[in-house]
Structure 1
Amino acid sequence: MSNKKLSKFNVFTILLIPFVWIYELSVVAPILGEVGKAFPTASTFELQLVVVMPFFASIPFSIIAGKLAKKYDKKNLIIIGLLIYGLAGITPFFCHTLHQVLVFRLITGIGVGMVLPLPNSIIAELFTGTQRERMLGATTSVANVANVLDSIAVGFILTLGWKYPFLCFTVCILIMFVAMAGLPKCPPVAQPAASNTQTSGKGVPKIVYGLLLFMAVNWMFFSFNINNTALFMVTEHIGLPWMIGIAISLPGGISIISGIVFPNFYHKTKNYLVPISIAIFAVGYVVMYFTHSFAVQCIANCLIGFGSGLLPPYILNLTSTKVELSKRDSAYGIVTAGIHIGFLSSPFIQLLISTITGIEAFRSLYGMCAIGLVICTVISFFVVMRIKKDPVAEIAAE
């Protein structure tokens, strides 16, 4: 840990911010059916925009937030982001047209983007070693706890009407007040006067863009499951309607465990964590491809959640070790944008696959995901083997 002394309340507040990382998705995705009934003339594409619209703003503003952190205190940026997030998130409750809803959903993305990268940057600045790994793993767990709780809560709130779930964004305002009291001040990191070969250059290292791609692909594969679970269960006659919520919440719920065990798992497996995680991810989709019962589907979802859940904290930790302190704010802004890029790209990639192959069956999509992840497992395994043969690369990986 850094020289700055942190209270338990400080640590609690830092870990509370990731509660709203994917809040804008988990609150709104379950209500689309009711929104469609409220606006019967709306197209399927317009209804899908209600869910994904924030991502169009959150992706660039995640990068912008990283750049702003070079000039302004990260605590103040998070507070402003939470304020925009909460107010814009609540406003659709008062809207009367779908276009009004879409506008405020877009504005919501500005707040989301400002909140997304900065907790990781604060953790990388204030913690080191195992403590940093534990904290970064915990952020993923907290985000998934929120996802599970939201999915359950919104189901009950939706009985009041499609507008009422938007009031859940009041949580962002409440977290803002906690952040005002509990977040430690994190002013911009001073640029070191002298620079060596490793720290030279104005931009972030090229590896940051590789990590951005890694993050986006992980969440894209994860989204293929989450976005299609309900329709898959209905078309394949798996389980009862009330079981759909359980199935959707399982991957996120198991990812909580992934975040908790990440530090120990990482220290035991080191660079092999990546191929092992992707392999578990792939097995989950293999099981999903062959499933014809709710119990087997639950097993598949658990495997998908555990495998995919180990990768974000690994990527975030690697960002902190590969990027110098003065460039971490920008780096985290870029890398964490991959979370929403993955969610946003998922439906478009799925549409592209069905257009090229002519196959629209969800089971076939799961089979393609399994094949893709198996290929990624093999590639990552050979990359690790190559690193192990190169002492210089191995030291750098450590």
Structure 2
Amino acid sequence: MKQKVSVMAKVAILISAFYTMADMFVVTPILGEISIAFPNAKITTIELCYSLSQITVIISSLLCVKLCTKFSKKSLMLFGGMLIAIFGGLGGMIENLGIMLGMRAMEGFGAGICISLIPAIIAEMFRDEKEMTRMMGWQAAVGAILGTLSSIAAGKIAESISWHYSYYVYLFAVIIIILQVCFLPKTPTEKPKDDLTGKAFINRAVVEWAFISFIYAAMTICIFIKTAQYFLETGLGGAEHAGIAESFITIGSFLGACVMAWIFEKFDSFIDLVCWVLILAGTIAVVSFKNVEIVYLGMLIFGIGYGAFFPWLYAKGTMICAPNSETKTISLITATYYLGMFSGTFVYAALANIFDNHTAYFAFICMIISSAVMCAFATVQGVVTREKGVLKRQNLVETE
């Protein structure tokens, strides 16, 4: 039976997308300023101010499966939001790298809880495949808008006042918490089951899709951690320009998320290829011309591909997973995605050491090559998937 969801309940879950985007976009515009504030720190250590949260996101995402059997998703979402508000909002108040990294880790723990629960709650609230896919896209689109504002605000605050105060952007979580308390429906604790073991299980299709999630995250993190450095080393600008550039990513992400359901309807099994082509084209545009406007255009194109693929990770995951295993599947996809983001930092650092080239330009070239490989893989995968039949949701089993 189709559930009726109130408008304010939709608003409460959609605006929660701030947690996903803020975890990525608040810190990245100010990495250049943080590196200047700590001139003796290694570049990998500075980048941990962004990427360290990814490891705690992984931990809390995996813990979410067990926590959902003890607490309601609403209670866990509120708890995660409070961690983001406290440790994210106060993350830059003490100019000490050790303390900042500790605060970043705790913010990531809260973000991991929320990031895992948002698509799980959407899948629970909207059982119809088209409506669920549409809401996944709109959730990412709202996140893109909030990410744009967060990125611009963080960069502007850093340029006008100090990078320390850019962290206050995380305090927007307080507004989200209030909306969730008032309007987000309370869900019961989970009692996952299947016909054999009584427990939710992860099928092979989900494992393979989680691996793609890992690759996608490890590759694309380059654009987030290297943009500020790219502007500084090319002389195209500083933190404010980097913030604007990343706002173009989020604008593109908004557009990509809005059309994700349409792309799925039109291209079906080739939706992955469409996204990879856009990511490849955008990155090529960024490095091809030493021109701010072209860089912004490249970021926009990249963002469209990135923004369409990100919600598709979760939408497809809920389609191919076993019955009653949505939360476990989403937690696995979230964990592998953020493991990819965390690992990507060190992969690019290792490549830089191997080739003795630590420039952002070199990192972007590596990303272009890997994106081209993924385009070829997605083409083959699309053909195979089309031969097997159109993707459809496999797990529409009503839970009691």
* Normalised TM-score (structure 1): 0.89
What is the correspondence of 1:171-182 to structure 2 with a 5 Å cutoff?
A: 171-182=172-183
Deviation at 1:95, TM superposition (A): 3.4
1:302-333: CA deviation from partner (whole Å, max 9, x where unpaired): 22111222112222111111123421111111
What is the correspondence of 1:1-398 to structure 2 with a 5 Å cutoff?
A: 3-36=2-35, 42-92=41-91, 94-95=93-94, 97-127=96-126, 128-158=128-158, 159-192=160-193, 195=195, 203-238=201-236, 243-390=241-388, 394=390
Cα distance in 1, alignment partners of residues 24 and 11 from structure 2: 23
Deviation at 1:99, TM superposition (A): 2.3
CA gap of 1:35–1:372, structure 2 versus 1, over 3 A, is closer
Cα distance in 1, alignment partners of residues 95 and 274 from structure 2: 49
Deviation at 1:292, TM superposition (A): 3.0
State the one-letter code of the partner of 2:83. I
1:56-75: CA deviation from partner (whole Å, max 9, x where unpaired): 21111011113322332111
Cα distance in 1, alignment partners of residues 31 and 192 from structure 2: 47
Cα distance in 2, alignment partners of residues 283 and 41 from structure 1: 36
> Helix, strand or coil for the counterpart of 1:195?
coil
State the one-letter code of the partner of 1:156. K
Cα distance in 1, alignment partners of residues 298 and 83 from structure 2: 37
Cα distance in 2, alignment partners of residues 255 and 240 from structure 1: 23
Deviation at 1:245, TM superposition (A): 2.9
1:261-312: CA deviation from partner (whole Å, max 9, x where unpaired): 1111211111111112212222222333422322322332222111222112
CA gap of 1:33–1:309, structure 2 versus 1, over 3 A, is closer
Are 1:95 and 1:101, in contact at CA under 8 Å, matched by a contact in 2? yes
Cα distance in 1, alignment partners of residues 36 and 368 from structure 2: 35
Cα distance in 2, alignment partners of residues 41 and 70 from structure 1: 46
Are 1:222 and 1:304, in contact at CA under 8 Å, matched by a contact in 2? no
CA gap of 1:305–1:34, structure 2 versus 1, over 3 A, is closer
Are 1:54 and 1:105, in contact at CA under 8 Å, matched by a contact in 2? yes
State the one-letter code of the partner of 2:47. Q
Are 2:80 and 2:109, in contact at CA under 8 Å, matched by a contact in 1? yes
Deviation at 1:211, TM superposition (A): 2.3
CA gap of 1:325–1:189, structure 2 versus 1, over 3 A, is farther
Cα distance in 1, alignment partners of residues 92 and 290 from structure 2: 39
Are 2:201 and 2:322, in contact at CA under 8 Å, matched by a contact in 1? no
Cα distance in 1, alignment partners of residues 391 and 95 from structure 2: 59
Q: Provide structure 2 residue ranges, at least 5 long, that are not aligned to the other structure.
A: 395-400
Deviation at 1:40, TM superposition (A): 5.5
Deviation at 1:112, TM superposition (A): 1.1
Deviation at 1:225, TM superposition (A): 1.7
> Helix, strand or coil for the counterpart of 1:135?
helix
Deviation at 1:124, TM superposition (A): 0.8
- When structure 1 is superposed on structure 2, of 345-354 and 94-103 the one drifting more is 94-103
Cα distance in 1, alignment partners of residues 104 and 2 from structure 2: 40
Deviation at 1:241, TM superposition (A): 7.5
> Helix, strand or coil for the counterpart of 1:117?
helix
Q: How many residue pairs align between the two structures?
A: 392
CA gap of 1:96–1:279, structure 2 versus 1, over 3 A, is closer
> Helix, strand or coil for the counterpart of 1:22?
helix
> Helix, strand or coil for the counterpart of 1:163?
helix
Q: Provide structure 1 residue ranges, at least 5 long, that are not aligned to the other structure.
A: none
1:131-164: CA deviation from partner (whole Å, max 9, x where unpaired): 1111101122222222211111122333333332
Are 1:66 and 1:331, in contact at CA under 8 Å, matched by a contact in 2? no
CA gap of 1:397–1:277, structure 2 versus 1, over 3 A, is farther
CA gap of 1:323–1:110, structure 2 versus 1, over 3 A, is same
State the one-letter code of the partner of 1:14. I
State the one-letter code of the partner of 2:77. I
CA gap of 1:322–1:240, structure 2 versus 1, over 3 A, is closer
Aligned identity (percent) is 20
Cα distance in 2, alignment partners of residues 349 and 299 from structure 1: 27
Cα distance in 2, alignment partners of residues 124 and 104 from structure 1: 31
Are 1:219 and 1:339, in contact at CA under 8 Å, matched by a contact in 2? yes
Cα distance in 1, alignment partners of residues 251 and 14 from structure 2: 17
CA-atom RMSD in angstroms: 2.6
CA gap of 1:276–1:89, structure 2 versus 1, over 3 A, is closer
State the one-letter code of the partner of 1:329. T
Deviation at 1:88, TM superposition (A): 1.9
Deviation at 1:396, TM superposition (A): 6.2
Match of residue 397 from structure 2: none
Cα distance in 2, alignment partners of residues 324 and 202 from structure 1: 8
* Normalised TM-score (structure 2): 0.88
Cα distance in 2, alignment partners of residues 130 and 355 from structure 1: 47
CA gap of 1:397–1:164, structure 2 versus 1, over 3 A, is closer
